[in-house]
């Protein structure tokens, strides 16, 4: 039984048992969804205040608004460059594999109401209304909500003010630091339920959709997973090497977080653990406090790969020809729609709907064929984004000379 003592082993066992339950007793397995939903709700209960406190401390501890501005600018530059590479990988994968070729999908046979709901959610409001939505109704609302951008806005304002009010700011940050210790302590207990959440998530996925649904669109699934592996190896790998570590040791170090995300499709569930581990890896508190939370909204590499790959898949499946000008428009639109979202399960599908709405050449009704396998695709998107944000934080820390590379190698067990 000692092999089951590590959390990652328990999560892996939960996933295996969930898959078995989904295959053997699909009707019963579908009823296990509340186990996964309950675990995610427990996590989300704590994520907003933890992000708020992490950002406030990260800014307050920098003590230099010039440093903060430089740090934010470098993070945004990194996000834009790497996200663009992710979008490009998705485009290339679609052209090389052509997963939708030969499907000859007749849009008239699909139920338009299935895609309509997602399109409506993606369309949302006007840009002015979206900007106004960044402002919470009151200051404390961000601590009980789940809007990452609202949390970031209020946390940045509070952190900046803490650097300007002297001893009062120091007392406030000391209190926030103590509250974070409390919240991390609660989180450590909640995370022990991860194997239960993993079982529920996998049981529901396999029981609800089954292997038959996956087989119909297997080439798309394999294309996304393959493109994501290529992105991690050929884009994130060299960046990690520049930071001072190998990609494989880093993934081995993050195995618990990767397995939790694999089973829940939500990167929110591991945010607190990433904060702790990145600091242990030698990244400064100010970098972790600014870059990691921002990355959850602006650096979703997995969604970037998925948007262009899935869009071209639908174009191929429906026989829609896209010239290079239209594909450049798709690239530009994906660069915009992939920003400002959070790591919640399923958000990549809504982002895809927003992209297709802006590129009308591809029939929006074709989204309906992806609904059944979105959960499986969401897993890949979430894990890729998780790895991307860890590497992003280390890279910006290295860029700012705020990464202890000796501590990094020691923590990963490298010489």
Report the pLDDT value the prediction gives residue 305, as an integer from 0 to 100.
Answer: 92
Buried b (16+ CB within 10 A) or exposed e, 32-67: bbebbbebbebbbebbbbbbbbbbbbbbbbbeeeee
94 pairs with which residues across the strands? Answer: none
Residue 176: how many CB atoms within 10 A of its CB?
21
CA pair distance 185, 11, nearest whole angstrom: 20
Buried b (16+ CB within 10 A) or exposed e, 2-14: eeeeebbbbbbeb
Report the pLDDT value the prediction gives residue 128, as an integer from 0 to 100.
Answer: 60
CA distances from 330 to 88, 267, 351 (A): 11, 26, 13
User: Which residues does the chain have with pLDDT short of 70?
Assistant: 1-6, 8, 62-64, 103-134, 142, 144-148, 209-216, 337-350, 358, 360, 371-372, 414-415
Contact call for residues 365 and 404 (beta carbons, < 8 A): no
Measure the CA dihedral 314/91/215/201, to 10°.
-100
Segment 206-217, tens digit of pLDDT: 777 666 555 667
Give residues with Cβ within 8 angstroms of 385, minimum separation 6.
Answer: 267, 299, 300, 301, 302, 303, 343
Contact call for residues 334 and 89 (beta carbons, < 8 A): no
CA pair distance 49, 199, nearest whole angstrom: 27
Place of tokens 């302590």: 185
Domains of the chain listed by start with CATH number: 2-412 (1.10.3860.10)
Place of tokens 């960046």: 239
CA pair distance 106, 79, nearest whole angstrom: 38
Report the pLDDT value the prediction gives residue 230, as an integer from 0 to 100.
Answer: 95
DSSP 310-341: HHHHHHHHTT----HHHHHHHHHHHHHHTSS-
Q: Using DSSP, state whether 392 is helix, strand or coil.
A: helix
């Amino acid at each position: 039984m000692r092999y089951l003592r590590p959390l990652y082993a328990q999560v892996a066992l939960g996933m295996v048992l969930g898959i078995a339950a989904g295959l053997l007793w699909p009707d019963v397995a579908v009823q296990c969804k509340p186990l996964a939903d309950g675990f995610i709700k427990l996590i989300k209960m704590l994520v907003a205040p933890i992000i708020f406190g992490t950002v406030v401390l990260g800014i307050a501890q920098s003590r230099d608004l010039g440093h903060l501005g430089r740090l934010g600018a470098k993070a945004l530059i990194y996000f834009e460059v790497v996200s663009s590479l992710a979008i490009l990988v998705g485009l290339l994968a679609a052209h090389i594999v052509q997963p939708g070729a030969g499907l000859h999908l007749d849009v008239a046979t699909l139920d338009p109401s299935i895609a309509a709901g997602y399109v409506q959610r993606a369309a949302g409001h006007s840009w002015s209304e979206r900007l106004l939505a960044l402002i919470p109704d009151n200051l404390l609302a961000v601590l009980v909500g789940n809007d990452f951008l609202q949390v970031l806005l209020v946390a940045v304002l509070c952190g900046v003010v803490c650097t300007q009010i002297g001893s009062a700011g120091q007392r406030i940050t000391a209190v926030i630091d103590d509250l974070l210790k409390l919240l991390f302590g609660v989180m450590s207990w909640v995370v022990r339920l991860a194997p239960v959440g993993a079982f529920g998530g996998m049981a529901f996925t396999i029981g609800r959709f089954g292997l038959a649904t996956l087989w119909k669109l297997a080439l798309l699934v394999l294309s996304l997973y393959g493109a994501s592996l290529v992105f991690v190896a050929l884009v994130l790998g060299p960046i990690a090497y520049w930071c001072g570590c190998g990609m494989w040791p880093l993934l081995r170090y993050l195995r618990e977080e990767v397995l939790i995300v694999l089973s829940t499709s939500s990167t929110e569930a591991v945010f607190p653990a990433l904060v702790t581990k990145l600091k242990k890896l030698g990244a400064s508190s100010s970098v972790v406090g600014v870059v990691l939370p921002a990355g959850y909204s602006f650096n979703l590499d997995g969604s970037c790969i998925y948007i262009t790959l899935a869009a071209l898949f639908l174009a191929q499946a429906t026989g829609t020809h896209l010239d290079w000008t239209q594909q450049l428009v798709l690239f530009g639109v994906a660069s915009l729609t992939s920003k400002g979202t959070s790591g919640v399960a399923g958000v990549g599908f809504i982002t895809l709907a927003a992209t297709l709405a802006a590129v009308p050449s591809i029939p929006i009704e074709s989204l309906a064929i992806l609904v059944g396998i979105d959960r499986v695709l969401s897993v890949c998107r979430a894990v890729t984004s998780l790895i991307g944000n860890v590497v992003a934080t280390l890279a910006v820390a290295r860029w700012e000379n705020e990464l202890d590379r000796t501590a990094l190698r020691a923590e990963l067990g490298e010489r």
